[in-house]
Chains A and B, each alone.
Chain A
Amino acid sequence: MIKNGTRLQSQVCDTQVIVVRSADSLDDLRAGGVPMVPLDAEKSADAKLDPDFADGNVMGKRYVDENGAEVLVTKAGAGTLSIGTTALNLKEAKPLPASD
C-alpha cells in the first residue's frame, strides 16, 4: 500500500497530489485516465490525456473514494482524478470560522 505523505504527479497534465490517507485502492490512482507516478519519476512520453477524464481538479481540495482513501491536490491540472475508471469525489467540508 502506498505510504501516507507520498507525492504523486500526473503523466498527462499539471496535476500533483499528496496522499493524506492511504488505501489499497490508491495503487490504481489515475489523473486524466493515466496512472499517477511519484514526483521524482519520469513521465511516459507517449501517454495522452483521456478526453473522458478531462474534467480537471481544484487546487487545495481533498478528494476521496469509498475505501477511505484521501488525496490533497497540491497542484491543479486538467485531468480527472480516478481510481481505475471511477472518479474520486470532492470532499465537501463544512466551513469553520477562523479560530487561530
Chain B
Amino acid sequence: MSISLLLEMAASSNPDRTAVVSGEIRLTTSELSELADGGAGVIAASGAQHAAYVGTGGAMLPLLLFSSARAGVAFTPLNYRLSEDGLRQLIDRLPTPLVIADDEYRDVVAGAGKQVISSDEFIDAARSTEPAAEFADPDDVGVVLFTSGTTSKPKAVELTHNNLTSYITGTVEFDSAEPSDAALICVPPYHIAGVSAALSNLYAGRKMVYLRHFDANEWVRLVRDEGVTSATVVPTMLDRIVSVLETEPVALPTLRNLAYGGSKVALPLVRKALGLLPDVGFVNAYGLTETSSTIAVLTPDDHREALAAGDEAVARRLGSVGQPVPSIEVQIRGEDGSVLGPGETGELFVRGEQVSGRYTDIGSVLDADGWFPTKDVAMLDEGGYLFIGGRSDDTIIRGGENIAPAEIEDVLVEHPSVRDCAVVGPEDPEWGQIIVAVVVPAPGVTPDPDELREHVRAQLRGSRTPDRVVFRDELPTNATGKVLRRELVDEFQRSRT
C-alpha cells in the first residue's frame, strides 16, 4: 500500500474539510490532493530519483510527502539547521535528488551541484503542471530520514510505504476525528514525528495547524485561535510552555490531548504540566525513526491512574512509556541474547510491520526472526508497562560495573535544587570511566555538590554516587531535546587538562 492512498481516502471522504493551516496557506483535503498530483508532475518532469527538502516545513511537508509518493520517488526532509557543509554531505548521499528549499536556505544548497527549486516555485509549478500518479509498491522506499548523528555519522533510515502505512492503519482509525478537531504540529519536519504527524492527522481527519518556528507564546495563541484539540511537543517545548503558563495562566479549553516524546521528559516537569493543565489528557509517546514513529503509549488514563495510585508499582508508571501499541511485539533481551522476564533490565527488541531496521549502504539490521535491536536499555513491569533507561551506548562502565545514566538522572532531577541534569562517563585512568553529574541548578539556587551526591547515595547503591558534580547554565540539546552527551564529556575532559 502506498502512503498516497491515505490522502486519496481522506480526499474522497471529506474533500472540503480543512486539512492544512500554515501561516497564510489553508488547504482543504481535495486541494492538497490536487496540489500533490501537480507536485508529482513537477518531480517526475525533473527526472530526479529522489526528492529532498530543506526548510521549516508547514504545508510543504504533507505536500512533498504525497507529491514524492505519487511521483514514485523517495522523500527526504533534511535538517535545515545543519551547516552548508553538513547539508551538502547528506545531499551527496541521495541518488539524483531534486532539492526543494525554502527561500532562506536556497543559497545554502545552491552549491551542492543538484537541481534546486524554491518552495514557492514548487507550489506555483505544481498548480500548472500535468499531474503524475504512480502507485508505489508496498516495498518501495517512501521516506529516507537521517538519524541525528549525535554519536556517530548520520545513518539513512529507509522507511517503506508498507512500514508507514502499517503504522498509520495499525494505530489510527480512519476518519475518527470530530469535524472540529485540530492538531498543532510544531515538531521539526526532518524528524520522524514530523512525517508521522502529517500522515496520521490527515488519516484521522484532523485539521493540521503548523507552527514552523516554535515559540511558546505563539503556541498558546494558536491553541486558542485555531481551537486546537491535540498537540505533540518535545521536552524542551513542554518546558517552555509550562514556563509561559506559570507566568501567565491562560485557559486552553479546546485542548484535550497533549503528547510529549522525542526524548525523555523529567518527571518533575510532567507533574508540573499535569498540575497546570488538569483537564488535558497527557500522552507519552515512545518510538524511533527506525520504527516509523510510536511503538508504545502511556495514555491519559495511565497518567491519571499513576498520579492517584497508592500502589508504588502503579505510581512508578508515570515514568514509563506505557504499553506497546497492538501491532508491535516487544522483548527484553539480556547480554547473552536470552529473553528476560518482567522486572529484568536488558536491551529492547521490537518487531512489527511498521519496523524498518534498514539503512542505505548498511542494509537490514533485523535478526533472522525479524526483531530490531533498539539499543535502548529497557524493562517491562508485571503489567506490561515499558520503562526506558536510555541508550545502551550511554552506559557507563565504572570499575567493571554497568551503570545506566538515566537511573541516576531520575533521582537527581527530583532534588529541589536541580532544574535539569545529565550524567556522563568521561574516561578515567583508575576506574575506566567515572560518573559525572552535570547539573543545571534551579533558579536562584547554588546547590552544594556534596548534598546532591548524598541525595543519590541515599536512594541508590553507593557505586551509583556521582564522583563529580559540575554546574552549567543549561544542557546542550538538539532540536528534539536529546542531550548532546559527547559535548559534555569533551568539555569535562578539557577542564581536567
Instruction: Give the B-binding residues of A (Cβ under 8 A).
Output: 4-5, 7, 18, 20, 59-62, 72, 74-75, 93-100
Task: Tell me, rounded to whole Å, the shortest Cβ–Cβ distance linking B328 to chain A.
Answer: 12
B359 located at the interface, meaning its Cβ lies under 8 Å from any Cβ of chain A in the complex: no
The reply to whether A98 and B174 form a contact with Cβ atoms under 8 Å apart is no
Contact of B138 among A5, A62, A72, A75 (CB under 8 A): A5
Contact of A96 among B183, B230, B293, B297 (CB under 8 A): B297
B150 located at the interface, meaning its Cβ lies under 8 Å from any Cβ of chain A in the complex: no
**Would you give 20 A-B contacts (Cβ < 8 Å), ordered by A?**
A4-B138, A18-B1, A20-B1, A59-B9, A60-B9, A60-B13, A61-B174, A74-B5, A96-B172, A96-B297, A96-B299, A96-B325, A97-B259, A97-B283, A98-B183, A98-B232, A99-B285, A99-B293, A100-B197, A100-B293
The reply to whether B259 and A100 form a contact with Cβ atoms under 8 Å apart is yes
Residues on B with beta carbons closer than 8 Å to the beta carbon of A94:
326
Query: What residue of chain A has the Cβ atom nearest to residue B136's Cβ?
Result: A5
State the CA gap A96–B206 with chains docked (Å): 15
The reply to whether B175 and A97 form a contact with Cβ atoms under 8 Å apart is no
State the CA gap A72–B5 with chains docked (Å): 11
The reply to whether B169 and A20 form a contact with Cβ atoms under 8 Å apart is yes
For chain B, residues 133 to 192, give those with C-beta under 8 angstroms from any C-beta of chain A: 135, 137-138, 161-162, 166, 169, 171-176, 183
| Contacts A4-B162, A18-B1 given; does A98 touch B230 at CB 8 Å | yes
| Contacts A5-B138, A72-B169 given; does A99 touch B8 at CB 8 Å | no
B68 located at the interface, meaning its Cβ lies under 8 Å from any Cβ of chain A in the complex: no
Task: Tell me, rounded to whole Å, the shortest Cβ–Cβ distance linking B356 to chain A.
Answer: 16
The reply to whether A100 and B200 form a contact with Cβ atoms under 8 Å apart is yes
| Contacts A4-B138, A98-B206 given; does A74 touch B8 at CB 8 Å | yes
B257 located at the interface, meaning its Cβ lies under 8 Å from any Cβ of chain A in the complex: yes
The reply to whether B297 and A59 form a contact with Cβ atoms under 8 Å apart is no
Q: Give the interface centre of A20, A61, A96 by most chain B CB atoms within 10 Å.
A: A96
State the CA gap A59–B166 with chains docked (Å): 17
State the CA gap A98–B281 with chains docked (Å): 10
State the CA gap A100–B161 with chains docked (Å): 18
Task: Tell me, rounded to whole Å, the shortest Cβ–Cβ distance linking A10 to chain B.
Answer: 16
Query: What residue of chain A has the Cβ atom nearest to residue B260's Cβ?
Result: A99
Residues on B with beta carbons closer than 8 Å to the beta carbon of A60:
9, 13, 173-175
B354 located at the interface, meaning its Cβ lies under 8 Å from any Cβ of chain A in the complex: no
**Given A93-B326, A94-B326, A96-B325: 8 more A-B contacts, CB < 8 Å:** A4-B138, A5-B137, A93-B173, A97-B281, A97-B300, A98-B183, A99-B285, A100-B193
The reply to whether A96 and B171 form a contact with Cβ atoms under 8 Å apart is yes
Task: Tell me, rounded to whole Å, the shortest Cβ–Cβ distance linking B90 to chain A.
Answer: 24
Task: Tell me, rounded to whole Å, the shortest Cβ–Cβ distance linking B15 to chain A.
Answer: 13
Residues on A with beta carbons closer than 8 Å to the beta carbon of B326:
93-94
Query: What residue of chain B has the Cβ atom nearest to residue A39's Cβ?
Result: B135
Residues on A with beta carbons closer than 8 Å to the beta carbon of B161:
5
State the CA gap A94–B323 with chains docked (Å): 13
Task: Tell me, rounded to whole Å, the shortest Cβ–Cβ distance linking A68 to chain B.
Answer: 13
> Which A-B residue pairs are the 5 nearest by beta carbons?
A60-B174, A5-B138, A99-B285, A100-B197, A100-B196
Task: Tell me, rounded to whole Å, the shortest Cβ–Cβ distance linking B298 to chain A.
Answer: 9
The reply to whether B174 and A59 form a contact with Cβ atoms under 8 Å apart is yes
Query: What residue of chain B has the Cβ atom nearest to residue A61's Cβ?
Result: B174
B320 located at the interface, meaning its Cβ lies under 8 Å from any Cβ of chain A in the complex: no
State the CA gap A18–B2 with chains docked (Å): 10
Query: What residue of chain A has the Cβ atom nearest to residue B196's Cβ?
Result: A100
Type the 1/0 row for B1-37, where 1 means its CB is closer than 8 Å to any CB of A: 1100100110011000000000000000000000000
Residues on A with beta carbons closer than 8 Å to the beta carbon of B261:
99
Contact of A99 among B5, B175, B232 (CB under 8 A): B232
Contact of A97 among B137, B138, B299 (CB under 8 A): B299
The reply to whether B283 and A98 form a contact with Cβ atoms under 8 Å apart is yes
